[in-house]
Chains A and B, each alone.
Chain A
């Protein structure tokens, strides 16, 4: 069981040499999850082209078990926010995120999805999707190369691998008190209402001297 003390690494490798494979439920579960991450199939702007390239034969996301792009959030584990999120689009993105079943992860791909990128000063572009939904991995770049997305994917796999099933510090999706839905912003007169979800958005404090 997952609550059992971790297996001694030395003992495990010793057993492995004898042909006995020891694992824990947590490891087995995370191993299965991290090797079958199904992304939600949608692209927003130029970054989506790189995402498509990553899924195609040359970069071959299938090597990491992530090639099954699902056209419905009900079957997806991962949301790759690939591109510019306009304020018109943001409520839809949040709603799609809400409709994904737990556990769910978000990769914020490219400068636009992180902060608005080249359009940060624009009146119509959301300055980062992390204002409304929690992001697991950020990839800088405009656009990030497919290798960068693969790297983000591997980072995510590492994160999934480290998630605990029980005890303190267990994964958020197993915690009843952690919400799996976030309020969908509404169109206001000049901006989205609210402009950011204070429960989710924790920008780094800039210290000025």
Chain B
């Protein structure tokens, strides 16, 4: 009766050899048959066929979160506007005032954000 962990060793060995073997075969193939043909174009960064421009590591300023929040607010507002527009002709006066207040509040928020300079792009 072999050690019960012996099978794990076999499993580990197979798991190692299985992926390494094709790599080794490919290496041997390259070594004996296929000459490597590297070149400037071949080794260049792949960017859908266009020449790559500038740095790959761009960082976005954390200021960007304000944009995201403002976008989110107006996105939600757009959803509220749809039922408002559909029911517009049948709305009682009170409801109309209510939705107008809602819109004005958001508008005021936009003016405030604009005035604070949140809408100008920070590099």
Contacts and interface: CB of A to CB of B under 8 A. Distances in A.
B39 A174 contact: no
Interface string B50-93: 11000000000000000000000000000000000000000000
Interface stretch (A95-103, A151-159, A198-206): A95-103
Contact of A181 (B42, B48, B51): B42
27 contacts: A92-B48, A92-B50, A93-B49, A95-B41, A95-B49, A95-B50, A95-B51, A96-B48, A96-B49, A98-B41, A98-B42, A99-B41, A99-B42, A99-B49, A101-B42, A102-B34, A102-B37, A174-B34, A176-B37, A179-B39, A180-B39, A180-B42, A181-B37, A181-B39, A181-B40, A181-B42, A184-B41
A92 B46 CA distance: 11
B117 interface: no
Q: Classify chain A: how many residues form its interface, as a range.
A: 20 to 34
A92 B35 contact: no
B13 to A, nearest CB: 26
B121 interface: no
Interface of A: 72-74, 91-93, 95-96, 98-99, 101-102, 165, 173-176, 179-181, 184
Contacts of B46: 72-74, 99
Given A72-B46, A92-B50, A99-B41, 11 more contacts: A74-B46, A92-B48, A95-B41, A95-B44, A99-B49, A101-B42, A102-B34, A173-B34, A176-B35, A176-B37, A179-B37
Contacts of B34: 102, 173-174
Interface string B79-111: 000000000000000000000000000000000
A186 to B, nearest CB: 11
Contacts of A165: 33
Contacts of A74: 46
A154 to B, nearest CB: 25
A174 B37 CA distance: 10
Contacts of B51: 95
Nearest to A73: B46
A101 B35 CA distance: 12
Contacts of A96: 48-49
Contacts of B37: 102, 176, 179-181
Contacts of A72: 46
Contacts of A92: 48-50
* Interface-centre pick from A74, A98, A165 (highest chain B CB count, 10 A): A98
3 smallest CB-CB distances across A and B, nearest first, come from: A92-B49, A98-B41, A180-B37
Contacts of A91: 49
Contacts of B42: 98-99, 101, 180-181
* Interface-centre pick from B39, B41, B48 (highest chain A CB count, 10 A): B41
Contacts of B40: 181
B101 to A, nearest CB: 50
A101 B29 CA distance: 14
A102 B37 CA distance: 8
